Amino acid sequence: EDPLQEINLGTEEDPRPTFISTLLKEPLKSELMALLQEFRDCFAWHYHEMPGLDRQLVEHKLPIKDGYLPVKQARRRMSMDTELKVKEEIERLLKAGFIRPAIYADWLANIVPVLKRKTGAIMMAEQDIHKTAFMCPGHIGAFEYTVMPFGLRNAGATYQRAMNSIFHDMIGHSLE
């Protein structure tokens, strides 16, 4: 992997960090930095800056085969430190509209806290949102995803379908 150099596309008060290769030579390095600066509004640094893809383009569905019954897992305990981090992330996701409180969820799984990259939001099919319900430790509550989390079955295929739709004119020309 190339060694990376952090550059700030924002201000000191509102930093917008990104990374470029330290192996880039001038004038390519300056041209890339100018291009990134010019189009910095195309990037998202916070959840609320990611409105998501239009449902007409793509949405994720969770078909369930006949005969399968909903599963509700027993609540697991977490350390207080992890619980605080989960609560902070839940508040960010709620504020961004990526999740909503789950009411009378038939499907309910324990949250699995992992560090993840922020990605473009693909909306969940409205009829399948209840299948994404998860519970948080303590009294934080139960929630369900309104956008597709990447841990779902076939999430990668849905994402690829969206990218193929968006970039179909460029694939084979300027994109591989």
Rounded to an integer, the average pLDDT of 107-127 is: 77
* CATH ID of 59-163, from 3.10.10.10, 3.30.450.30, 3.30.565.10, 1.10.1060.10: 3.10.10.10
Tally of CB atoms within 10 A around 155:
16
pTM: 0.58
Q: Which of 86-90, 97-101, 134-138, 169-173 has the lowest mean pLDDT?
A: 169-173
User: What is the token pair recorded at 83?
Assistant: 């619980």
**Residue 63: CA atoms inside 13 Å, Cβ hemisphere, count?**
3
End-to-end CA distance of the chain: 20
Question: What per-residue confidence (pLDDT) applies to 175?
Answer: 62
pLDDT digits (tens, 9 = 90+) for 47-89: 778 777 888 888 989 899 999 998 888 888 888 888 888 899 8
Instruction: With beta carbons less than 8 A apart as the criterion, state whether 165 and 58 touch.
Output: yes
> What values do phi and psi take at 4, rounded to 5?
-110, 150
Question: What per-residue confidence (pLDDT) applies to 23?
Answer: 92
Secondary structure (DSSP) of 66-97 = TTPPP-BPPPPP--HHHHHHHHHHHHHHHHHT
Q: Which SS3 state, helix, strand or coil, does residue 6 take?
A: strand
* Type of residue at 129: I
Distances (CA, A) of 54 to 125, 133, 168: 11, 22, 16
